[in-house]
Structure 1
Amino acid sequence: METLFRKHRILISQVSMTIVRQMMHTVKWERQLVSIRGSRGVGKTTLMRQYIRQKYGINAGEALYLVMDSMYFTNHTLLEVAERFHLVGGKHLFLDEVHKYPTWSKEVKEIIDLWPDLKITFTGSSLLQILNADADLSRRVLNYDMAGLSFREYLQFYKGIELPSYSLEEILSNADSICQKVCEACRPQALFEDYLRVGYYPFYDGDDQDYYSRIENVVSFIIDQEMTQFCGVEPAYTRKLKAMLLFLANNVPYDVSIAKLSSYLEINKTTVLSYLASMQKAELLNLLYTDKKSVTKMQKPDKVYLHNPNMHYALSSEEKIGTIRECFVVNQLSASHTVEYGKTQGDFKIDGKIILEVGGKDKTFDQIADIPDSYVLADSMEFPIGKKLPIWIVGFLY
């Protein structure tokens, strides 16, 4: 146990408290069982360690931080650690990358049954199954999904510019005032262009090529490790998934032809659809449908985008600014809203009622004229003109 306390002290003392994400204040850390899921690289570990340092300090005692793929767990069980921790007065276990511990759900369930006064907070892959895990924890866990940096958070992390977040309703109804505040603090357009290239993941260090290499490593890890573990993908087929992702990266936004994808990858159509669905869950892709409510399990999507603009720059051989704009809008809105393909009415339909058209500064309302609740999100603007808003403003949703 002393080994775990020593590792806790080392790891918690190393975390910087200079910048803390807004999510720190929205998570209800005091609940008995809390889950924070998210794609590799978005900052789950940092958030957890920052909370521990802020709440409990750097020394283990009431809190204990455990890395679940530690060598320690090759000859010790989580249940055993929890029992000893509880006996010495421990109150809160923090389990990082819980999916790397094979029997995590069964043991977590047993722990909270045996010691209901012991709280557990755990992080895991965006693919982590809580409902269908070996022990169904879905009714007992409070789950949070963590995204990469929004444009607002990028300004805070990399430029030291602190601005509030806004709801979509506030953005659409009060864009003039919001843009005024942003423009008083910075010149958003140039910074937004930087964000599209290097702003989504919180590990950019000034070297673009190194950043894109790290994104490629994240993608490879998700496909090679997480999708084989959670999605039933045979290791022999991971090359097919990577080929599919690269094909889509160079063809997005992709008007989906399952037959074409099937032929290109030399796999059957059902497997293609299954792979697409899994890659969306893994936060590699965003799949859009014209009517999300009626989507069936094996229905093909109407449009496919890469998950975020930085991934586009890392994986695509072409810089398609129109695609990157749309990818940004889908990514930022999907974190808390339902996004559907607009098809005949605008580019996107949000929450079943708001129509958005996305384009450059000369984009007009011609395609959405006379449609209620319709807006244009246009590039290269700092202030709105009526219902034509700067595209970067949706980067202030979180």
Structure 2
Amino acid sequence: MDSLLNTYRKLISAEKSDFKRYLHSDIDWNERMTGITGARGTGKTTLILQHIRNNFPDRNKAVYVSLDNLWLSKNSLLDFAERFSVYGGTHLFIDEVHKYPNWSLELKNVYDNYPDLKTVFTGSSILEIYKSDADLSRRAVKYELHGLSFREYLSLEKIIDLPVLPLNEILSNHIDIADDIRNKIKVIPLFKQYLKNGYYPIYKEGIRNYFTKITNIINTTLEKDLPSIEKIDYNGIYNVKKLLMVLANLVPYTPNIEKLSAEMQLNRASTLKYLHYLNKAALTNQLLVPNKGMSLLTKPEKVYLNNSNLIYALNVDDASANIGNVRETFFFNQLKVRHDVNLPKSGDFLIDKKYTFEVGGKGKSFEQIKDLKNSFVVADDIEMGIGNKIPLWLFGLIY
């Protein structure tokens, strides 16, 4: 146990960043059990280490432990929780739960046996807390951490600190908001930079190897995280990877499952299952019609890569990254954090079953949505909009 505590103290001492992710203020840290899921590289570990550093002057009251630590190969999480509680600990922060056998059952036992112990755990975006072996649905409050928004990117780069803007405020007051911001910064070049290499916080470690690190994230997610949660063998992992690369060259893709299955040499059920895995792994986003639930057998109406940085990382050069795809991917990626995003009958995106958006370049017209109520054009390469034409970059301030 001493080795776990020493590792915890070293990590807390090394965590110096004052930049806080949007989710930090959303979380109710007073809950008895909290689950935080999210894609690799989005900053889950940093989030909880920061919280400990800033809220526990007595470091002995809290402890951080990653469940891939070798100590836990011979000792149980439940034993660790018991020892920690006996010595006066009150807050247990557990990282990488998906790497630990029977994680849900042991967390349930921690919750039931130690009512004075508050527990926060993190896991892969693939993790389905409410479908775990033990019933955590009435015990754990779940949150999902997404990658950096454009607003967060500007703050992390120490360029400008902007408030979170609700969608209705952007729609009703976008001209004044954009005018105020453009008088302070050159927003378009910064936005283009973010689209290419600003979504995963690991870009701060160096841009030169950023795409290589994204590739490593993809491989680790599919080769290690996915098999730890789903029953999938080596051939299955290979096919999921292959499917991702096929989609990377097709997105935004309207799936023809029979044609895609033939190209992948898979049956229909396997193709749908692998599409589902990619979506759960936060590597793709699936666009559905309203009121259509997500499941293993659901055929998406349209498939995108999860974020614009993935587009650049999975293409050999910038010329291969279609700008129309980049724009739509960004809009989908940012809006889904706070809103329901669906495929409309006309236009590109339907938000909260109320607002229709058509996304394009600065010359984009209203032709396709001119007769629709609550419809808007979202235009790239403009600092300010007019009427119902709104700059694309503004939607990066939603979280």
Task: Please give the range of the TM-score, normalised by the shorter of the 2 chains.
Answer: over 0.9
Note if 1:356 corresponds to 2:362. no
Paired position in structure 1 for 2:26? 26
Gaps of 5+ in 1: none
Paired position in structure 2 for 1:175? 174
- Give aligned pairs, total: 396
Displacement of 1:206 after TM fit?
A: 7.3
What does the per-residue CA deviation read over 1:188-232, in whole Å, with 9 as the maximum and x for residues that have no partner? 111100010001000114754410011111111111112222232
| TM alignment of 1:84-123, pairs within 5 A | 84-123=83-122
Note if 1:307 corresponds to 2:309. no
Cα distance between partner residues in 1 of 2:298 and 2:281: 18
Q: Matched residues, percent identical?
A: 42
| TM alignment of 1:186-225, pairs within 5 A | 186-205=185-204, 207-225=206-224
Look up the equivalent residue of 2:393 and give its one-letter code: W
Cα distance between partner residues in 1 of 2:254 and 2:287: 10
Look up the equivalent residue of 1:319 and give its one-letter code: A
Displacement of 1:161 after TM fit?
A: 1.5
Cα distance between partner residues in 2 of 1:292 and 1:277: 18
Displacement of 1:21 after TM fit?
A: 1.6
Asked if the contact 2:64/2:93 (under 8 Å) is kept, the reply is yes
Asked if the contact 1:8/1:60 (under 8 Å) is kept, the reply is no
What does the per-residue CA deviation read over 1:290-349, in whole Å, with 9 as the maximum and x for residues that have no partner? 23436675232111100000000000241200010000001111112111122x411111
Which of 332, 349, 364 is residue 334 of structure 2 equivalent to? 332
Cα distance between partner residues in 2 of 1:309 and 1:351: 23
| TM alignment of 1:54-133, pairs within 5 A | 54-57=54-57, 60-133=59-132
Asked if the contact 1:355/1:375 (under 8 Å) is kept, the reply is yes
Deviates more, 1:35-44 or 1:309-318: 309-318
Cα distance between partner residues in 2 of 1:320 and 1:101: 40
Cα distance between partner residues in 1 of 2:293 and 2:281: 22
Cα distance between partner residues in 2 of 1:367 and 1:54: 51
Cα distance between partner residues in 1 of 2:335 and 2:76: 41
Cα distance between partner residues in 2 of 1:183 and 1:32: 44
What SS is found at the alignment partner of 2:299?
coil
Cα distance between partner residues in 2 of 1:282 and 1:247: 16
What SS is found at the alignment partner of 1:192?
helix
Q: Check 1:113–1:334 CA distance in 2 against 1; reply closer, same or farther (3 A cut).
A: same
Cα distance between partner residues in 2 of 1:41 and 1:159: 20
Cα distance between partner residues in 2 of 1:255 and 1:2: 54
Look up the equivalent residue of 2:300 and give its one-letter code: P
Deviates more, 1:282-291 or 1:322-331: 282-291
Q: Check 1:384–1:206 CA distance in 2 against 1; reply closer, same or farther (3 A cut).
A: farther
Paired position in structure 1 for 2:239? 240
Asked if the contact 1:332/1:395 (under 8 Å) is kept, the reply is yes
Displacement of 1:104 after TM fit?
A: 1.5
What does the per-residue CA deviation read over 1:78-131, in whole Å, with 9 as the maximum and x for residues that have no partner? 111111111111100000111111122111111121110110001111111211
Cα distance between partner residues in 2 of 1:245 and 1:302: 17
Q: Check 1:296–1:208 CA distance in 2 against 1; reply closer, same or farther (3 A cut).
A: closer
Cα distance between partner residues in 1 of 2:119 and 2:237: 34
Cα distance between partner residues in 2 of 1:296 and 1:121: 27
Cα distance between partner residues in 2 of 1:369 and 1:53: 53
Asked if the contact 1:246/1:316 (under 8 Å) is kept, the reply is no
Paired position in structure 1 for 2:343? 341
What does the per-residue CA deviation read over 1:257-282, in whole Å, with 9 as the maximum and x for residues that have no partner? 11221111111111101111121111
Paired position in structure 1 for 2:324? 322
Cα distance between partner residues in 2 of 1:269 and 1:109: 37
Displacement of 1:17 after TM fit?
A: 2.8
Note if 1:270 corresponds to 2:272. no
Cα distance between partner residues in 2 of 1:238 and 1:206: 29
Cα distance between partner residues in 1 of 2:51 and 2:169: 29
Deviates more, 1:374-383 or 1:125-134: 125-134
Cα distance between partner residues in 2 of 1:370 and 1:263: 40
TM-score (norm 2): 0.96
What SS is found at the alignment partner of 1:377?
strand
Q: What is the aligned-residue RMSD (CA, Å)?
A: 1.5
Cα distance between partner residues in 2 of 1:3 and 1:243: 40
What does the per-residue CA deviation read over 1:41-80, in whole Å, with 9 as the maximum and x for residues that have no partner? 00000000000000114x6311011111101111111111
Asked if the contact 1:326/1:358 (under 8 Å) is kept, the reply is yes
Cα distance between partner residues in 2 of 1:300 and 1:95: 35
Cα distance between partner residues in 1 of 2:35 and 2:293: 29
Displacement of 1:40 after TM fit?
A: 0.5
Displacement of 1:372 after TM fit?
A: 0.6
Asked if the contact 2:380/2:391 (under 8 Å) is kept, the reply is yes
Cα distance between partner residues in 2 of 1:80 and 1:154: 41
What SS is found at the alignment partner of 2:130?
coil
Paired position in structure 2 for 1:39? 39
Look up the equivalent residue of 2:121 and give its one-letter code: F
Displacement of 1:170 after TM fit?
A: 1.1
Look up the equivalent residue of 1:8 and give its one-letter code: Y
Displacement of 1:5 after TM fit?
A: 2.2
Paired position in structure 2 for 1:288? 287
Q: Check 1:131–1:206 CA distance in 2 against 1; reply closer, same or farther (3 A cut).
A: closer
What SS is found at the alignment partner of 1:18?
coil
TM-score (norm 1): 0.96
Look up the equivalent residue of 1:304 and give its one-letter code: V
